[in-house]
Structure 1
């Protein structure tokens, strides 16, 4: 019986894919490698099906706008600033949909409607985006959070010092950056710190976030051959459900504690609001567009913000310190600049950032070489459109290879070298208008947290460098620092960066 069911499923898959090919045969798709019947380019790419590096190599052969067929999923890959410009300036609305992989669908609410990342473009998504942009990432709100950011930075430094106080002990840098950012988001959402290195919840969530990102990035046959979805042959849905359920229990616990301790609705409206206050205000009936925004949706949104917000920032800061340890002359130049601004009784403050061009250049160069989302979150064509003379049919998945765009030799001199100086006399910014440099994306679905990252990233790098003299573990030379990448949704290091934080010399 199982064999019969399998054969029937195989026949249906073949029919569906052949039908898809017939529908596309009359359209002028961008060029790409020839594929096998039914499976397309799946087995040609192997684990590189979602690899920014593998796709960049193919784009060098087939062009900056390239078509791949992964089973029944037609995919177009954007790999140049020119193609990105046409996508976001001409076809932004047409391509504002989301391709949602099976692993992304496994959340406690069993719905993507309450998600900023995976929800389809529409009224509910636009309202959530406005809540983020107008309530929490405005200049006024970010200025009001300055003291909280400083406190979270001080806690991060204290945690590192406590970890290393018993001699020359190397620490996992990313872990402490993660805790700092987690507490910063905790204050943004729940008005309080949530974790520290000794807390069970903090360490568990740190491990769960890494696992969730790994599972989401794992190529899943069910995404490309839809009739395989019920079977979960790779157990991705099962693993994702397990990890997200565990992570949800932690964030739901924070939400419950915050609600139980919260003031009445009238008191909330008079006082300072955090993100939970705003969402509860809509849940209480003040926002018709979110009248169905349930407690489960609030918890799922909190989980999404914690995982996405902490993992991306942690990745960028870890890469920045790794590049500085790998290039000591650049670190010394940056320390000279920081020392010229920071005094014996104070560190770097946000008001100092305009006086620190090399620090800003180091962060920009890190984002160019190591964008937090090398393929962005997959876009989806909501309607057919034309790009660079080619047709992009409706429902096509669109991947934007920001990693390849940031290393394009036609745009960047010595594209694989870490050279912050390239940004010192450059007007290029990462706010979505310079299409040769898109670490936070562009258009409608650009990262809403970019204004916070704009302040947080340079401040975190400065705090780490001014608080400690960082030394590589014994036997590790700057030239041998492991700079390999690990396949994932976020661009993480193949091996976590470990370094020795010595007390800072005056």
Structure 2
């Protein structure tokens, strides 16, 4: 009977597609349809219950809002789930249960609960709930971000650690990053001469992309103000935004084959284009290596190809392509958005901007050059980055965890297969943890031992435990180097004589958290 009703409503969904047009069909249309479905199945639920059906599910779940039959709490999450779930946690507490369609979801919104989940129960909660979009082109089968803790995952983590993110490897590629950041400074200098407005996010995105592509492939993939750079930016942003969008197919896995919102189709198109780019680069490199009869490792691609050619290696060309996809999507988007948020907060708080510039110019002198080893001598700059990550964590829920076994957290039962969301956005704005939590106050981190490396659960924008972001060491270097260079070499004012208090600081939700409106600023030569 239940399957009959589902099929009937899927047919109605198809009719709605045809009559309204898929491009005009909104999430609310699906929600209204599911409300109708909810009513029908609620009748079935109460009928079976009255006939003596057994109540299923653990009775000691964490508290949470009462779910509707079938659809659960879907209608309550809104288009900015990090904010609505933060509000709900004020009512139901730091560990809260929701029913999102057929998916049991546990939401964690405080440091002490996050520590118990990600440290005490790290092993049991280290698997992943996979968004349907991440299944596009079987990416989840090769992705270091979405693979379960297993031998293939451990191998990829080891490759990331040994080939990319050790201090020795990062020191060896420092000159590449320095060169690309200098190109950013040169681009902004040209904007000074022409009195042009700089799109901060776009300029930083190009810098990060070329820094990463030179480290990986020894080539630039874009140029400032080029159409290619904008297209690449749009492509990466759209994939991250669509994958993170609330998706009915995630709440009702039976609908995956239908892809009712077209999310998997959209993501497949986006990551297909990226994989084709990597495929072309890899095959061109293989041909060059065969022609030159050389296995010299001049960049990461050479190193990975050498590993893949070893008899004992578990790497393949397919795995290498998907690894590059993970590193590009995660590294470029989150790093560039963090710098944009930092610049936005500083322009919104001019006295903090002046304080940061004063520190930089005192440490580096008048005609200095910002280098990575200078960052340790700039405590206020580091405090600015921590404060930015507190207020604007790049991934507001981290990536979703999944309970491999039933565990107890704070005396509540977390059922097996439950999805675990750690709302680091809410944790960063918790008034019981932070004084004046919505104010941008880098000073709170001066003389503070709190860091972002996963040990201090008040501030875990990169996660914690075995699932902590492997690219954290590189992100730390890039973000601080770019921000320091922009602040040291230029003064800044908002475009179109916009006053700081009139800035749009609203957020656009996706897998990563972006400014709704790009930050446009005018550089002034010091």
- Whether the aligned pair in 2 keeps the contact of 1:486 and 1:494 (CA below 8 Å) is yes
Scaled by the length of structure 1, the TM-score of the pair is 0.91
**2-structure distance, mates of 1:87, 1:253:** 42
**2-structure distance, mates of 1:26, 1:106:** 33
Instruction: For residue 231 of structure 1, give the secondary structure of its aligned residue in structure 2.
Output: coil
**2-structure distance, mates of 1:202, 1:256:** 23
- Whether the aligned pair in 1 keeps the contact of 2:58 and 2:415 (CA below 8 Å) is no
User: Structure 2 vs 1, CA of residues 265 and 424 (structure 1 numbering), >3 Å: closer, same or farther?
Assistant: farther
User: Structure 2 vs 1, CA of residues 198 and 248 (structure 1 numbering), >3 Å: closer, same or farther?
Assistant: farther
Query: Are residue 359 (structure 1) and residue 381 (structure 2) matched?
Result: yes
- 2:8 is aligned to 7
> What is the correspondence of 1:73-88 to structure 2 with a 5 Å cutoff?
73-88=103-118
- 1:240 is aligned to 267
User: How much does 1:164 deviate?
Assistant: 5.3
User: Structure 2 vs 1, CA of residues 426 and 85 (structure 1 numbering), >3 Å: closer, same or farther?
Assistant: same
> Could you tell me which of 94, 103, 113 is aligned with 2:124?
94
Cα root mean square deviation, aligned: 2.5
**2-structure distance, mates of 1:113, 1:22:** 37
**2-structure distance, mates of 1:497, 1:364:** 20
User: Structure 2 vs 1, CA of residues 176 and 253 (structure 1 numbering), >3 Å: closer, same or farther?
Assistant: farther
- 1:350 is aligned to 372
**2-structure distance, mates of 1:229, 1:52:** 24
User: How much does 1:159 deviate?
Assistant: 2.6
Query: Are residue 468 (structure 1) and residue 478 (structure 2) matched?
Result: no
- 1:140 is aligned to 168
- 1:425 is aligned to 447
> Could you tell me which of 198, 220, 226 is aligned with 1:171?
198
Query: Are residue 278 (structure 1) and residue 303 (structure 2) matched?
Result: yes
**2-structure distance, mates of 1:496, 1:361:** 24
Higher mean C-alpha displacement, 339-348 vs 479-488 = 339-348
Provide, for residues 273-303 of structure 1, a one-character-per-residue CA deviation record: whole Å limited to 9, x for no partner. Answer: 5332333234324334x1xx44233222212
User: How much does 1:430 deviate?
Assistant: 0.8
User: How much does 1:388 deviate?
Assistant: 0.7
User: How much does 1:194 deviate?
Assistant: 2.7
Query: Are residue 185 (structure 1) and residue 186 (structure 2) matched?
Result: no
- Whether the aligned pair in 2 keeps the contact of 1:281 and 1:287 (CA below 8 Å) is no
Unpaired runs of 5+ in structure 1? Answer: none
Provide, for residues 96-119 of structure 1, a one-character-per-residue CA deviation record: whole Å limited to 9, x for no partner. Answer: 111111111113xx2422211111
User: Structure 2 vs 1, CA of residues 7 and 383 (structure 1 numbering), >3 Å: closer, same or farther?
Assistant: same
Unpaired runs of 5+ in structure 2? Answer: 11-36
Query: Are residue 126 (structure 1) and residue 151 (structure 2) matched?
Result: no
> What is the correspondence of 1:310-459 to structure 2 with a 5 Å cutoff?
310-459=332-481
User: Structure 2 vs 1, CA of residues 322 and 336 (structure 1 numbering), >3 Å: closer, same or farther?
Assistant: same
- Whether the aligned pair in 1 keeps the contact of 2:144 and 2:157 (CA below 8 Å) is yes
- 1:43 is aligned to 75
- Whether the aligned pair in 1 keeps the contact of 2:406 and 2:413 (CA below 8 Å) is yes
- 1:59 is aligned to 89
Scaled by the length of structure 2, the TM-score of the pair is 0.88
- 2:231 is aligned to 204
**1-structure distance, mates of 2:208, 2:9:** 50
- 2:20 is aligned to none
User: Structure 2 vs 1, CA of residues 427 and 179 (structure 1 numbering), >3 Å: closer, same or farther?
Assistant: same
Provide, for residues 177-221 of structure 1, a one-character-per-residue CA deviation record: whole Å limited to 9, x for no partner. Answer: 111111121122213333212555433211101111121122111
- 1:151 is aligned to 179
> Could you tell me which of 63, 78, 86 is aligned with 1:31?
63
User: Structure 2 vs 1, CA of residues 315 and 5 (structure 1 numbering), >3 Å: closer, same or farther?
Assistant: closer
**2-structure distance, mates of 1:475, 1:176:** 21
User: Structure 2 vs 1, CA of residues 181 and 263 (structure 1 numbering), >3 Å: closer, same or farther?
Assistant: farther
User: Structure 2 vs 1, CA of residues 479 and 495 (structure 1 numbering), >3 Å: closer, same or farther?
Assistant: same
**2-structure distance, mates of 1:147, 1:230:** 48
**1-structure distance, mates of 2:429, 2:346:** 19
- Whether the aligned pair in 2 keeps the contact of 1:406 and 1:438 (CA below 8 Å) is no
Provide, for residues 382-418 of structure 1, a one-character-per-residue CA deviation record: whole Å limited to 9, x for no partner. Answer: 1111111111111100000111111111111111100
Instruction: For residue 53 of structure 1, give the secondary structure of its aligned residue in structure 2.
Output: helix
**2-structure distance, mates of 1:281, 1:287:** 12
Instruction: For residue 381 of structure 2, give the secondary structure of its aligned residue in structure 1.
Output: helix
**2-structure distance, mates of 1:260, 1:413:** 59
- 2:100 is aligned to 70
**2-structure distance, mates of 1:363, 1:419:** 11
Query: Are residue 482 (structure 1) and residue 498 (structure 2) matched?
Result: no
Provide, for residues 34-59 of structure 1, a one-character-per-residue CA deviation record: whole Å limited to 9, x for no partner. Answer: 011111111233434xx111110001
Provide, for residues 70-93 of structure 1, a one-character-per-residue CA deviation record: whole Å limited to 9, x for no partner. Answer: 010110001001101101221001
User: Structure 2 vs 1, CA of residues 85 and 5 (structure 1 numbering), >3 Å: closer, same or farther?
Assistant: closer
User: Structure 2 vs 1, CA of residues 265 and 126 (structure 1 numbering), >3 Å: closer, same or farther?
Assistant: farther
> What is the correspondence of 1:288-299 to structure 2 with a 5 Å cutoff?
288=313, 290=314, 293-299=315-321
> Could you tell me which of 223, 232, 244 is aligned with 1:217?
244
